[in-house]
């Protein structure tokens, strides 16, 4: 079999890449994935998972996800809809079955592994298919593959026989048999799980929460890329840039972000030093604060019927408690010293080139592959924006993102493509703005100069720590 491109990984990144090649070129493509359906880790996600961001700018460029509606109820009422697992999986399955495959230009190999050297092996039959790749191999699977979701990760602590400890995927099946619940982990999965428990009517006193760390969280109300939220979001962006241009330390910037209503934290008494780009509304954080039994003794090292063992101590535990393991780490940092570039000879390594925007990044890389022939320009436009753990790392990644953004703005074809791409958050904010919108235009006029000042000051903040 011969194709122009072989894409490894039919996760959200591989699908975004495929979509652009499908619509912007006449290339033939093979796409291979270990899973039985497109969507990558969403196949293994817990049933109540939702996007952190609005559906409006998730997915592939050519197809809307969702209906541009606002959440009608719940803790995100009045805010743009965020697709859940089944909607996301349906979206990708429908694209594959009803758009890409019928064209005859795309061959899909589910339940298959890429072995290298153009060889694909079925994980069920073992049959090997040899593929001659005329143009490039696109590795859109390696980064996602480093991360883990609760259903597939291997616990790094021991659970004694007889102790109930499940992934959030199994909580609905086990919850009716338990009196109390202990959520393990401090990230977004743990937050989702606490909110699920509260939403099913479990009183906060029946929930305990092992939180080894605290994170800064984006306050959803003020980071909404939707035309109806233009003013809070652009005013928020302006406040962030002003802080980045003037703050002297990371801590000062954090304080500014909290004061501006852009970041919040679950416990106002604990100063977080970490940031994983989770997003939560004010009502969600208020709900999370209802859980008072927060165990801060480091990570869990073991659970027996009598106690929870942690890095910094032990807690007695009673019968009837269900432990919910939310300790998987979804985003793993790349070792940038060893990471080859995005455009690497006849391989394309699909990575993030805009902070925590993997799908926009994959689509833009595909667009560059389709339209840009200048190797030096491609290199300048594709610095990697790594995952981040601490606030300082987040700021460093923002600086890289600004450098990429500047390079993109210098290439007319790329600039206009971004401005019309649905995976670009700004596209949704600017929708429908005309010459008569003087207040909006004035506000937007401040963003460019402030970005330049922020890029100048960021290295100072990082040096001061
Ligand atoms: C709870 C949760 C919520 C999230 N919410 C958002 C959000 O709101 N917005 C956002 O932008 N991101 C969000 N993310 C991040 C999310 O990880 C990305 O959006 C995206 O789904 C990652 O897709 P991916 O294709 O890069 O990786 P994956 O989903 O991991 O897909 C990679 C695929 O490649 C396959 N693969 C790898 N190597 C091989 C091989 N050799 N042969 C065959 N197949 C291979 C894997 O099996 C896998 O299916 C969220 C993540 C989680 C866990």
Note the pLDDT tens digit of each residue in 317-368.
Answer: 877 899 999 998 777 889 988 999 999 999 999 999 999 999 999 999 999 9
446 belongs to a structural domain: no
The answer to whether residues 84 and 40 belong to one domain is: yes
Instruction: State in Å: Cα 91 to ligand 1 middle.
Output: 15
pLDDT band at 146 (very low <50, low <70, confident <90, very high): confident
* Ligand 1 site, residue 41, Cβ cutoff 6 A: yes
Q: Do both 53 and 189 map to the same domain?
A: no
DSSP letters, 387-435, are ---BHHHHHHHHHHHHHHHHHHHTSHHHHHHHHH-TTSHHHHHHTT--T
**C-alpha closest to that of 312 among 298, 302, 300, 301:** 298
Same domain? For 64 and 7 the reply is yes
Nearest residue (by CA) to ligand 1, atom 30, is 144
**Number of helices (H) and strands (E), helices first, in the chain?**
14, 21
Q: Which CATH number does the domain housing residue 193 bear?
A: 3.50.50.60
If asked whether residues 291 and 352 sit together in one domain, one would say: no
Establish if 439 belongs to a structural domain.
no
Q: Pull the structure tokens for residue 353.
A: 């080139």
Question: Do 287 and 346 sit in the same domain of this protein?
Answer: no
Q: Which of 100, 293, 82, 86 is nearest to 188 (CA)?
A: 82
Decide which of 293, 325, 357 is a domain's last residue.
Answer: 325
Last residue within a domain, chosen from 325, 351, 386: 325
Residue 459 lies in a domain: no
Domain that holds residue 172: 158-221+274-325
Average pLDDT over residues 103-126: 98
Minimum CA distance residue for ligand 1 atom 4: 51
Task: From 387, 407, 427, give the residue that closes a domain.
Answer: 407
Do 16 and 57 share a domain, yes or no? Answer: yes
What is the percentage of the chain residues whose pLDDT exceeds 90? 92
Q: Are 182 and 295 in the same domain?
A: yes
Based on the domain organization, do 122 and 176 belong to the same domain? Answer: no
Taken in order 425, 377, 396, 277, the sign of the CA dihedral is positive
Pairs from 341-346 (Cβ < 8 Å, separation ≥ 24): 341/379, 341/382, 342/378, 342/382, 342/384, 343/368, 343/369, 343/375, 343/378, 343/379, 343/382, 346/133, 346/135, 346/136, 346/137
Ligand 1 within 6 A of CB of 15: no
For residues 389 and 337, membership in a common domain is answered with yes
Is residue 152 one of the residues assigned to a domain?
Answer: no
- Residue 354 sits in the same domain as residue 295: no
Which of 6, 8, 12 best tests ligand 1's pocket when mutated (most atoms within 8 Å of CB)? 12
User: Residue 313: inside a domain, yes or no?
Assistant: yes
User: Which range is least confidently modeled, 146-155, 196-205, 399-408?
Assistant: 146-155
Residue 240 covered by a domain = no
pLDDT of residue 130: 98
Would you say the CB of residue 52 lies under 6 angstroms from ligand 1?
yes
* Residue 182 shares a structural domain with residue 321: yes
Predicted pLDDT at 452: 96
Q: Is residue 307 part of a domain?
A: yes
Residue 260 lies in a domain: no
Same domain, yes or no: 74 and 89: yes
Indicate the number of domains in the chain: 2
Q: Residue whose CA is closest, atom 23 of ligand 1?
A: 12
Looking at the CA of residue 50, tell me the nearest atom of ligand 1.
Answer: 3
Residue 99's closest CA among 141, 59, 56?
A: 59
Take residue 145 and report the two structure tokens written for it. 């593959």
Indicate the pLDDT class of residue 260, thresholds 50, 70 and 90: very high
Its pTM stands at 0.96
Spacing, Cα 33 to ligand 1 middle (Å): 12
């Amino acid at each position: 079999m011969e194709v122009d491109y072989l894409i490894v990984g039919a996760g959200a990144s591989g699908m975004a890449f495929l979509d652009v090649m499908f619509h912007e070129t006449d290339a033939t493509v093979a796409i291979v994935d270990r899973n039985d359906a497109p969507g990558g880790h969403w196949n293994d996600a817990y049933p109540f998972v939702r996007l952190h961001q609005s559906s409006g700018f998730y997915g592939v460029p050519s197809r809307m996800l969702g209906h541009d509606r606002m959440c009608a109820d719940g803790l995100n009422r009045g805010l743009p809809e965020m697709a859940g697992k089944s909607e996301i999986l349906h979206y990708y399955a429908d694209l594959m079955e009803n758009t890409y495959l019928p064209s005859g230009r795309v061959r899909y190999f589910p339940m298959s592994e890429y072995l290298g050297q153009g060889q694909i092996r079925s994980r069920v039959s073992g049959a090997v298919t040899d593929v001659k790749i005329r143009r490039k191999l696109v590795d859109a699977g390696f980064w996602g593959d480093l991360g883990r979701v609760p259903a597939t990760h291997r616990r790094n602590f021991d659970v004694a026989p007889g102790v109930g400890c499940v992934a959030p995927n199994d909580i609905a099946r086990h919850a009716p048999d338990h009196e109390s619940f202990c959520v393990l982990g401090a990230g977004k999965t743990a937050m989702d799980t606490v909110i699920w428990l509260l939403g099913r009517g479990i009183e906060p006193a029946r929930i305990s929460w092992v939180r080894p760390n605290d994170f800064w969280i984006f306050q959803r109300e003020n980071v909404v890329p939707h035309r109806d939220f233009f003013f809070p979001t652009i005013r928020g962006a302006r406040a962030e840039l002003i802080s980045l241009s003037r703050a002297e330390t990371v801590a000062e910037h954090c304080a500014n972000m909290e004061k501006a209503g852009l970041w919040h934290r679950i416990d106002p008494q604990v100063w977080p030093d970490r940031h994983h780009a989770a997003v939560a509304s004010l009502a969600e954080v208020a709900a999370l604060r209802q859980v008072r039994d927060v165990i801060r003794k480091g990570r869990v090292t073991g659970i027996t019927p009598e106690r929870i063992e942690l890095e910094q101590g032990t807690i007695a535990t009673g019968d009837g408690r269900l432990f919910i393991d939310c300790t998987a780490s979804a985003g793993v940092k790349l070792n940038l010293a060893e990471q080859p570039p995005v455009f690497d000879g006849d391989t394309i390594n699909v990575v993030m080139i805009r902070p925590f925007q993997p799908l926009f990044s994959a689509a833009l890389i595909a667009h560059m592959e389709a339209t840009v022939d200048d190797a030096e320009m491609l290199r300048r436009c594709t610095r990697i924006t790594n995952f981040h753990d601490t606030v300082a790392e987040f700021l460093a990644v923002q600086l890289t993102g600004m450098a990429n953004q500047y390079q993109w703005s210098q290439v007319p074809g790329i600039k206009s493509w971004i401005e019309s791409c649905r995976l670009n958050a700004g596209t949704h904010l600017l929708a429908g703005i005309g010459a008569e919108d003087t207040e909006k235009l004035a506000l937007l006029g401040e963003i460019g100069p402030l970005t330049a000042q922020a890029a100048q000051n960021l290295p100072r903040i990082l040096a001061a720590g």
